[in-house]
């Protein structure tokens, strides 16, 4: 950015713009291990007009703009790969309305996901998408990454709840599409195009979300299995019962050991090859009890050592704290790591996990698997640990190529929720034909003719 352009931005945004080195440094990273890209300025938008003004200026002056929610992304989406301006949405953080009659919420994008959940639950309503980062990520970031979470097994992901959006495209035009509508097939599905667009097509400034009635009762189970294989197999057997748990999370033994050491707290269950964390909800305690007994029996018939029911709030909180701390625990163990979030059809999850178990036997890299196995989406983490840079780079590349080939052969794809961003774009040709990639480019051109919005991501 030229000095003149920085001055003009200062005039436009006053103290909503920062050029301070400390601020630039802070906004040069997100949660993507080892990636950094310095912005030249950070703008803290306070309303939609700020964003329209900034995008018009940047399109006219050919300056890159990278939108940023709360910087918890793990594919490098919020990193300003080509410098320019980081556009922070953190000050646009108001819940504008919780409409109990229509069961809808209208929010600004910077609202923290967990805070929205608490606010709607106070009114007896329920916003199900629950990324493990829910205490620190924004709803805007969730929409733009298509975020999911453990509850996706029963309730789907963010995309299943967005019914309306206001967004600004790089020309500065403000669009309002959809609304508090349960049905809407008017024109092209621009909401669908914006979801998971990773901040490359437009900046989301207001979101309307569908809410559900809050389920009356919820129970969580922790089920240790004799072996990795048996836990993987049990996932499909649970699906065959016809009961849809809210959550089926898989955690191999090593993952639990790492997180227990990190939290310095042990769960009261025996050591085992792998664990399933299950959640069930329903209208009354009798229904839940019937369902969890059936699911528990299926687990025991398929190699579970025991079935622990988290009866108390304290036990439920400990379980979820353990699950949500996994990322930080792995990061603590190895500051550099590769977090893959491949997804396969649910019935192929056992095949995926067993093949990943084989991959680990052929490498010095530590491979740790956990995640939302109940919806086919597992996090395969490669930890660098103390490996020499040369060995790590070569092994990382070899394992990823093997993993992605495997996933594609099982009918799966590269990312279930974290997005492509910077970290996986080199692999896009494995899953998208040249015709598809060409269409992406033309779509990008239609929204962003000057190519200023979050350049260098996805393709």
Closest distance to ligand FAD from the beta carbon of 207 (Å): 9
Tell me: does residue 164 bind ligand FAD (CB under 6 A): no
Nearer Cβ to ligand FAD (142/302): 142
The sheet with strand 41-44 has its strands ordered as: 17-18, 41-44, 85-88, 65-68
Contact 216, 94 (CB under 8 A): no
Closest distance to ligand FAD from the beta carbon of 66 (Å): 6
Tokens of residue 15, six digits: 């103290």
Closest distance to ligand FAD from the beta carbon of 276 (Å): 17
* Binding-site member from 43, 63, 65, 89 for ligand FAD (CB under 6 A): 89
Tokens of residue 1, six digits: 């950015």
Nearer Cβ to ligand FAD (80/282): 80
Closest distance to ligand FAD from the beta carbon of 402 (Å): 24
- Provide the terminal-to-terminal Cα distance of the chain, rounded to the nearest Å: 24
Tell me: does residue 67 bind ligand FAD (CB under 6 A): yes
CB atoms within 10 A of CB 13: 21
Find all residues with CB under 8 Å of 102, minimum gap 6, and list them.
180
Q: Measured between alpha carbons, how far is 396 from 391 in angstroms, rounded to an integer?
A: 8
Identify which range of 93-101, 146-154, 260-268, 440-448 contacts ligand FAD by CB under 6 A.
146-154
Q: Give the contact letters, 381-410, x = binds to ligand FAD (CB under 6 A), - = no.
A: ------------------------------
Tell me: does residue 72 bind ligand FAD (CB under 6 A): yes
Tell me: does residue 147 bind ligand FAD (CB under 6 A): yes
> Tokens 């990520």 — which residue?
137
Report helix, strand or coil for 249.
Answer: strand
> Tokens 């030229």 — which residue?
2
Tell me: does residue 375 bind ligand FAD (CB under 6 A): no
Contact 239, 295 (CB under 8 A): no
Report helix, strand or coil for 396.
Answer: helix
Identify which range of 196-204, 214-222, 284-292, 405-413 contacts ligand FAD by CB under 6 A.
196-204
Q: Give the contact letters, 22-61, x = binds to ligand FAD (CB under 6 A), - = no.
A: --------xx------------------------------
Q: Measured between alpha carbons, how far is 194 from 52 in angstroms, rounded to an integer?
A: 17
Q: Give the contact letters, 328-367, x = binds to ligand FAD (CB under 6 A), - = no.
A: ----------------------------------------
* Binding-site member from 65, 196, 203, 234 for ligand FAD (CB under 6 A): 203
385: DSSP letter: T
Closest distance to ligand FAD from the beta carbon of 170 (Å): 11
Tell me: does residue 78 bind ligand FAD (CB under 6 A): yes
> Tokens 């983490």 — which residue?
381
For 154-193, the DSSP string reads HH--GGGTEEEEEEE-TTS-EEEEE-S-S---SSS-HHHH
Closest distance to ligand FAD from the beta carbon of 145 (Å): 4
Residue 310, beta-bridge partner list:
220
Give Cα 310 to chain centroid, integer Å: 26
Alpha helices of 216-275 — where are they, by DSSP H?
Answer: 228-240, 253-263
* Binding-site member from 198, 281, 340, 366 for ligand FAD (CB under 6 A): 198
The sheet with strand 337-340 has its strands ordered as: 308-310, 217-225, 274-282, 247-252, 366-372, 377-383, 337-340
215: DSSP letter: P
Tell me: does residue 70 bind ligand FAD (CB under 6 A): yes
Per CB under 6 A, contacts with ligand FAD among 270-329 are 327
Tokens of residue 304, six digits: 């579970």
* Binding-site member from 454, 455, 456, 458 for ligand FAD (CB under 6 A): 454
**CB-based closest residue to ligand FAD:** 141
Identify which range of 137-145, 177-185, 223-231, 315-323 contacts ligand FAD by CB under 6 A.
137-145
Tell me: does residue 418 bind ligand FAD (CB under 6 A): yes
Interface contacts to ligand FAD, rule CB under 6 A? 30-31, 66-74, 77-78, 89, 109, 131-133, 137-138, 140-142, 144-145, 147-149, 198-199, 203-204, 327, 417-418, 454
């Amino acid at each position: 950015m030229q000095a003149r352009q920085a001055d003009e931005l200062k005039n436009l945004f006053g103290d909503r713009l920062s050029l301070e080195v400390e601020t630039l440094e802070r906004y040069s990273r997100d949660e993507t291990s080892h990636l950094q890209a310095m912005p030249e300025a950070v703008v803290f938008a306070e309303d939609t007009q700020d964003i329209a003004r900034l995008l018009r200026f940047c399109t006219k002056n050919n300056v890159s703009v990278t939108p940023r929610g709360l910087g918890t992304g793990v594919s490098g989406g919020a990193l300003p790969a080509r410098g320019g301006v980081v556009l922070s949405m953190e000050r646009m953080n108001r819940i504008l309305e919780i409409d109990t009659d229509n069961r809808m919420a209208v929010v600004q994008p910077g609202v923290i996901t967990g805070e929205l959940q608490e606010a709607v639950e106070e009114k007896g309503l329920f916003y199900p998408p629950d990324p493990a980062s829910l205490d620190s990520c924004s709803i805007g970031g969730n929409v733009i990454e298509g975020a999911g979470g453990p509850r996706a097994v029963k309730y789907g992901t963010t995309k299943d709840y967005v019914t309306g959006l206001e967004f600004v495209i790089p020309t500065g035009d403000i669009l309002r599409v959809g609304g508090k509508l349960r049905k809407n097939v008017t024109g092209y599905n621009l909401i669908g195009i914006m979801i998971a667009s990773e901040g490359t097509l437009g900046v989301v400034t207001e979101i309307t979300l569908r809410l559900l009635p809050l389920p009356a009762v919820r129970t969580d189970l922790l089920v240790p299995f004799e072996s990795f294989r048996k836990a993987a197999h049990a996932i499909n057997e649970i699906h065959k019962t016809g009961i849809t748990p809210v959550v089926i999370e898989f955690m191999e033994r090593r993952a639990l050991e790492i997180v227990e050491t990190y939290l310095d707290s042990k769960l009261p269950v025996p050591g085992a090859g792998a664990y399933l964390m299950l959640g069930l909800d329903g209208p009354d305690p009798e229904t839940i009890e019937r369902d969890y007994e059936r699911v528990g029996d299926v687990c025991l018939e398929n190699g579970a050592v025991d079935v622990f029911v988290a009866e108390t709030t304290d036990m439920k909180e400990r379980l979820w704290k353990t699950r949500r701390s996994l990322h930080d625990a792995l990061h603590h163990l190895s500051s550099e790591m590769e977090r893959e979030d491949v997804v396969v059809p649910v019935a192929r999850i056992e095949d995926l996990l067993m093949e990943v178990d084989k991959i680990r036997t052929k490498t010095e890299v530590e491979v740790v698997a956990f995640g939302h196995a109940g919806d086919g989406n597992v996090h395969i983490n490669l930890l660098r640990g103390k490996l020499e840079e040369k060995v790590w780079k070569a092994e990382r590349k070899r394992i990823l190529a093997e993993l992605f080939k495997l996933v594609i052969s099982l009918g799966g794809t590269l990312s279930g929720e974290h997005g492509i961003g910077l970290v996986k774009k080199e692999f896009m040709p494995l899953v998208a034909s040249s015709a598809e990639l060409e269409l992406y480019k033309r779509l990008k051109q239609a929204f962003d003719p000057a190519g200023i919005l979050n350049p260098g991501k996805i393709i």
